[in-house]
Structure 1
Amino acid sequence: MSAPTAPQRPRLALFDLDHTLLPLDSDHGWGEFSIAIGWCDRTEFGRRNDEFFADYLAGRLDVPDYVRFATAAVVQRGPEAAAAAHARFMDEVIRPAMTPAALQLVQGHLDAGDTVVITSATNEFVTRPIAEAFGVQELVATSLARDAQGWFTGEIDGIPNMREGKVVRMDAWLAARGLSWSDVETTFYSDSMNDVPLLEKVDHPVATNPDTRLRALAQERGWRVLDLFTETP
């Protein structure tokens, strides 16, 4: 008589967003869009936005400082104007960049019954509508503090969802659902060396559109490499 098989663990598919599902950086893109619609000064804001982006790529971004900078115009303009501007951002910048391959990859996990989570260092104001456009309801992003009226203050609420913070935030996400890492079978797609802590944590790390350093690490570790924008997933 054969031994009973262990029950299959629920599957959890985690996705980084910028340069993983999108061939652009949504945070930097929102800054450029803010300039284009006249919310920010081209010269000074553009210069600082580019500097922060370079710091992110180098793994040295001061997240609280960046979030104050990046959300200042949103905080000042208020909820209605910000929502209208973001709707334009989605139509003019984000949706044209959403490739069939990326949509297919996410939808494949949804169709398989996996729980899909987008986990992004970019703040929740920028990323929530993008996650929804991919058909994903579960978003773990850098959270923004709110004032008594419920509007953003420009400060971060809790731990930035970046580097080791992504693991901490996913720990909390699982715990809130009565789960631990051993209870779920996890896959994580990311392009970034910033995400190595979470790539090392999951069962199935996938280096997706990786830069040179992450590609080399993935090959060394035997991780799957997916060039999402040049091949069929």
Structure 2
Amino acid sequence: MSRPSAAFFDLDKTIIARSSTLAFSRPFQAGGLITRRAMLRSAYAQFVYAVGGADHDQMEKMRQFMSQLCAGWDVATVREIVADTLHNVVDPLVYAEAVSLIDEHKREGRDVVIVSTSGSEVVEPIGAMLGADRVVATRLKIVDGKYSGEIEYYAYAEEKANAIRRLAEEMGYDLDESFAYSDSVTDVHMLEAVGHPYAVNPDKQLRRTAVERGWPVLVFNRPVALRSRASLPQGPTLAALAVGGAFAVGGYVWANARKRPHSG
């Protein structure tokens, strides 16, 4: 009897078109969690993230700012804001190609797992909205119902691959028959962990790695509202999405990465 397989997806710039956590800047400001000045700072961070031009020093400064920002936030308030605004914030950002690909994997009997450096308070509701079977995400330490500003579990770089291997052991996944998708070179370890790695809208370094290793490269560029998911036309198949014929070429995050160019 064959073992089950899975499809592992990074979130930011792979399933959705921008940083999942940064997308909630305005609702968090409206809910009284952050000031207008902080919202503008996060908007700047989103711009830097979108163009992919942040160097390590810029990202470290933004990480420190955002890490300090979330300390003391009420956990229940954050979850309520995310739940109340999820569709309005995320719906227009989800790639139609990713939705079709998720559906394709589910039809073929694979579990769909989102593996993201973004915080679990944001990633888990998005995963539920997308119909993911499981979610791996960064978790912040909670003390007396508030975020302490410390990281309890950090789903970044090699840890994503470690998490995938632990899940494979727990669920019996055959990783040689499993798939992984990401946009960032920081997720190379995650892509290496499976038999079918795909670079999605890759940054320059990941694109170079994909070319060197013969990994397929997919281009997603059609955001769609999930409310219309049931009426979506059948998306292109995995083979049709691959670029290059025979060569065929996953915000601020809650207390973001130490050396993270951009990955979600």
Partner of 2:105: 109
Whether contact under 8 Å (1:124, 1:141) holds in the other structure is yes
1:228 and 2:220 are equivalent in the alignment: yes
Question: 1:15 is matched with which residue: 9, 25, 29?
Answer: 9
Whether contact under 8 Å (1:31, 1:70) holds in the other structure is no
1:76 and 2:69 are equivalent in the alignment: no
Query: C-alpha distance in 2, partners of 1:116/1:129?
Result: 14
Q: In structure 2, do the counterparts of structure 1 residues 188 and 70 end up closer, same or farther at CA, with 3 Å as the change threshold?
A: farther
Partner of 1:219: 211
The aligned runs of 1:53-132 (5 Å cut-off) are: 54=48, 58=54, 60=56, 65=64, 68-69=67-68, 71-72=70-71, 75-79=72-76, 81-132=77-128
Any idea what SS the aligned residue of 1:26 has?
Answer: coil
Query: C-alpha distance in 2, partners of 1:122/1:227?
Result: 22
Whether contact under 8 Å (1:119, 1:166) holds in the other structure is yes
Query: C-alpha distance in 1, partners of 2:147/2:33?
Result: 17
Partner of 1:156: 151
Q: In structure 2, do the counterparts of structure 1 residues 173 and 9 end up closer, same or farther at CA, with 3 Å as the change threshold?
A: closer
Query: C-alpha distance in 2, partners of 1:99/1:137?
Result: 19
Query: C-alpha distance in 2, partners of 1:221/1:153?
Result: 42
In angstroms, what is the RMSD of aligned CA positions?
Answer: 3.0
Q: In structure 2, do the counterparts of structure 1 residues 14 and 59 end up closer, same or farther at CA, with 3 Å as the change threshold?
A: farther
- Cα displacement (A) at 1:108: 1.1
Aligned residues: 220
Whether contact under 8 Å (1:90, 1:130) holds in the other structure is yes
Q: Runs of 5+ in structure 1 lacking a partner?
A: 1-6
- Cα displacement (A) at 1:68: 3.2
Question: 1:205 is matched with which residue: 192, 197, 221?
Answer: 197
Partner of 1:174: 168
Whether contact under 8 Å (1:186, 1:204) holds in the other structure is yes
Question: 1:28 is matched with which residue: 19, 22, 37?
Answer: 22
TM-score by length of 1: 0.79
Any idea what SS the aligned residue of 2:87 has?
Answer: helix
- Cα displacement (A) at 1:155: 2.3
Partner of 1:139: 135
Q: In structure 2, do the counterparts of structure 1 residues 67 and 140 end up closer, same or farther at CA, with 3 Å as the change threshold?
A: farther
Letter in 2 for 1:156: I
Query: C-alpha distance in 2, partners of 1:66/1:92?
Result: 26
1:188 and 2:183 are equivalent in the alignment: no
| Higher RCO structure (Cα 8 Å, ≥6 apart) | 2
Q: In structure 2, do the counterparts of structure 1 residues 93 and 9 end up closer, same or farther at CA, with 3 Å as the change threshold?
A: same
TM-score by length of 2: 0.71
Q: In structure 2, do the counterparts of structure 1 residues 143 and 76 end up closer, same or farther at CA, with 3 Å as the change threshold?
A: closer
Q: In structure 2, do the counterparts of structure 1 residues 70 and 217 end up closer, same or farther at CA, with 3 Å as the change threshold?
A: farther
User: Identity across aligned pairs (percent)?
Assistant: 30
Q: Runs of 5+ in structure 2 lacking a partner?
A: 223-234, 238-264
